[in-house]
Amino acid sequence: MIALKTLNRRTDALVVGGGIAGLQAALDLADQGFKALIVERQPSIGGHMIALSKVFPTLDCASCITTPKMSAAVHHPKIELLVNTEVQSLESTGAGQRATVTRQPTYVDNDKCIGCRLCEYACEVEYPDPFEQGLGALRAIAIPFANAIPQVAVLNPAYCTTCGLCARACPTGAIDYTQEAVTFTIDAGAVILATGFSLNSLNLKPQFHAAQSRNIISPLTMERLLAPHAPYGRVLRPSDGKIPQSIAFIHCAGSRDQTLGVPYCSRVCCMYFIKQAMLLSGALPLADLTLYYIDIRAFGKGYEQFYQNARAMGINFVRGKVLRIEPLADGDLLVHVEATEAAEHCYRKVRHDLVVLAQGMVPPSGGPALVPVRRATDGFFDLPEATDPSGTNLPGVFAAGTAAGPKDIVDTITDAGAAAMAAGRYLQRRRRENSAPVGEAGTRRRVHLEPTMDAVGAN
């Protein structure tokens, strides 16, 4: 890894994470006149939301409402975007915050790439597509997904056989095999942490045998099966391509369980399961759809009505506890459930083609410690002041969206707006302090509030 001082930057606000929270926060700051720099570790912005099918409770197409925000952020004159770049650490400098970031090589010069995909078509190697949760195939050099922003190719060295076909096919000479990881720093007046969430493992409950069946899937996999550009083009089960006729949804499979270390509710699973069942009733009109739940948490505006509509559509809701899932030889799954809706609890075994587990929402894995920002007991960023819902324990560092705990898109966007407002107020206060006459004790501090985002050279 090389450290390139020429890449060091200064900005008013650093936004860590280019999911919907980070995009909204950056747009709100930029519209207030502040320069915002978004750092996203994936090759595209959009976060989890760009991979969803439709969103509850409106059933709007997720990519149709995310793409305009992605595009607005990338074209905003006050927003700069760095993808494939991860924040490694954060330190207070007195004048603001300094982030150390590492940009991974993509082996493609983004300034030359025109997104024509000729390199992708020339490449011969395919691997399980991470955007499609492994269901589809992606070539070793490819545009990450159809509506990725930026629309540039990325080469995956873990699969590349160094045949050189991509460089031979590229009409603009964009392939650059000499790229290496580079580390540099970003000085910012304020930081918004919008690092989002990840889902805990499907295999946490051994009695569910998820490791033994391709047909026990994650809710994100179901989102991709239902998406307009679905990897299979329709809903099929992954073990053998069968059109499923009976699908089970198991609520709270990774949340509300002390033994899993996730005692809290992940807040969105009840609603996304109801949404997925509704979408499936359109895609597979004959399919039997059953939701096994402890209680339904339909807390938001219009959510209770959404739930009642699902019941009226004939979707089965079974209150009870799933004890075990038994994979059968033909790929089907036998769900053992203790149903509790009747006065007398009854034990049932129900056969399904496909089972979706509501994994718990947890802080993103493999991420940096982002010290010294304090975490709450659930592992998400701690927001200690009830009257300052975005402020962390560090002055000038704010958290937005699911980085501070599970929430839906509406709350994430509201949260991001609040964090942008708090960061804007903080930057203005510092600006006033900075321009005020030096006090008796000579306490005026130098802060970089009108910096340039151009490379600032060795410093």
Partner 1 sequence: MATKPLTTEQKQALALFRKRLGGVSKEKHERLKHQVTLRKAIRDFLARQPATIPEIASALARPADEVLWQVMGMKKYGRVREAGDSGWYARYGLIERETEAAAGEV
Ligand X SMILES: Cc1cc2nc3c(=O)[nH]c(=O)nc-3n(C[C@H](O)[C@H](O)[C@H](O)COP(=O)(O)OP(=O)(O)OC[C@H]3O[C@@H](n4cnc5c(N)ncnc54)[C@H](O)[C@@H]3O)c2cc1C
Name the site residues for ligand SF4 (rule: CB under 6 A). Answer: 108, 113-119, 152-153, 169-170, 172, 174-175
Q: Which of 196, 238, 368, 396 binds partner 1 (CB under 8 A)?
A: 238
Distance CA 348, CA 351 (A): 10
Which residue, 459, 458, 308, is CA-closest to 6? Answer: 458
158-166, 361-369, 378-386, 417-425 -> range binding ligand X (CB under 6 A): 361-369
Please choose which of ligand X, partner 1, ligand SF4, none residue 115 contacts, taking the beta carbon within 5 to 8 angstroms, the exact cut-off set by kind.
ligand SF4
The C-alpha atoms of residue 449 and residue 451 are separated, in whole angstroms, by 6
- Check if the beta carbon of residue 406 is closer than 8 Å to that of residue 262: no
How many angstroms separate the CA atoms of 27 and 41, rounded? 19
Number of residues this chain uses to bind ligand X (CB under 6 A): 41
- Smallest distance from the beta carbon of 121 to partner 1, in angstroms? 4
Question: Please, are residues 181 and 4 in contact by the beta-carbon 8 Å criterion?
Answer: no
Please tell me the distance from the alpha carbon of residue 106 to that of residue 159, in angstroms, as a whole number.
13
Beta carbons within 8 Å of 371's beta carbon, 6+ residues apart: 89, 90
Binding test (CB under 8 A) with partner 1, winner from 34, 107, 184, 398: 107
Q: Which CB sits closer to partner 1, 242 or 375?
A: 242
Q: Which does 116 bind (CB under 5 to 8 A by kind): ligand SF4, ligand X, partner 1, none?
A: ligand SF4
CA 122 to chain centre: 30
Instruction: Name which of ligand X, ligand SF4, partner 1, none residue 196 binds, using a CB cut-off of 5 to 8 Å depending on partner kind.
Output: ligand X
167/182 with CB nearer ligand SF4? 167
> Per-residue DSSP letters for 357-407?
E-PPEESPTT----TTSPB-TTSSBP---TTSTTB-SSTTEEE-GGGGS--
Task: Give me the half-sphere count of Cα atoms (radius 13 Å) on the Cβ side of residue 102.
Answer: 10
172 binds, among ligand SF4, ligand X, partner 1, none (CB under 5 to 8 A by kind): ligand SF4
Place of tokens 């770049």: 85
Q: Buried b / exposed e across 239-251, counting CB within 10 Å, b at 16+?
A: beeeebebbbbbb
Per-residue x/- mask for ligand X, residues 217 to 246, rule CB under 6 A?
Answer: --xx--x-----------------------
Whether residue 395 is preceded by a cis peptide bond, meaning omega within 30 degrees of 0, is no
Considering the rule CB under 8 A, would residue 159 count as an interface residue with partner 1?
A: yes
CA 258 to chain centre: 25
38 forms beta bridges with 15, 81
Q: How far apart are CA 271 and CA 398, in angstroms?
A: 28
Site track for ligand X across 32-61, x = CB under 6 A: -------xxxx----xxx--x--xx-----
Q: Applying CB under 6 A, which of residues 144, 196, 231, 391 lies at the interface with ligand X?
A: 196
Does position 283 interact with partner 1 (CB under 8 A)? The reply is no
DSSP state of 266: -
Give the per-residue contact string, 281-320, with ligand X (x = CB under 6 A; - = no). Answer: ----------------------------------------
**Residue 243 interacting with partner 1 (CB under 8 A):** yes
Stretch that binds ligand X, among 112-120, 191-199, 284-292, 428-436 (CB under 6 A): 191-199
Q: Which amino acid is at 176?
A: D
Among 4, 72, 95, 167, binds partner 1 (CB under 8 A): 167
Quick check: 154 binds ligand X (CB under 6 A)? Answer: no
What is the nearest approach in angstroms of ligand SF4 to the Cβ of residue 122?
8
Tell me, residue by residue from 243 to 282, as one string, x for binding to ligand X by CB under 6 A and - for no binding.
-------------------------x---x--x-------
- The nearest distance, CB 84 to ligand X, in angstroms, is 9
For the stretch 77-110, what's the b/e string if a residue is b when 16 or more beta carbons lie within 10 angstroms of its beta carbon? ebbbbbbbbbbeebeeeebbbbbbbbbbbbbbeb
Burial track 21-46 (b if 16+ CB lie within 10 A, e otherwise): bbbbbbbbbbebebbbbbbbbbbbbb
Question: In the complex with partner 1, which residue's Cβ is closer, 107 or 272?
Answer: 107
Nearest approach, Cβ of residue 141 and ligand X (Å): 21
Cβ at position 167, least distance to ligand SF4 in Å? 9
CA-CA-CA-CA torsion sign (220, 225, 229, 232):
positive
Residue 366 touches partner 1, criterion: CB under 8 A? no
Q: What would the two tokens of residue 275 be?
A: 């949404």
Shortest Å, Cβ 91 to ligand SF4: 36
Q: Which range in 286-294, 344-352, 376-384, 408-416 contacts ligand X by CB under 6 A?
A: 408-416
**Residues that bind partner 1 in the complex, under the rule CB under 8 A:** 107, 117-118, 121-122, 124-126, 128, 135-137, 139, 157, 159-162, 164-165, 167-169, 171, 175-178, 180, 214, 231-234, 236, 238-243, 245
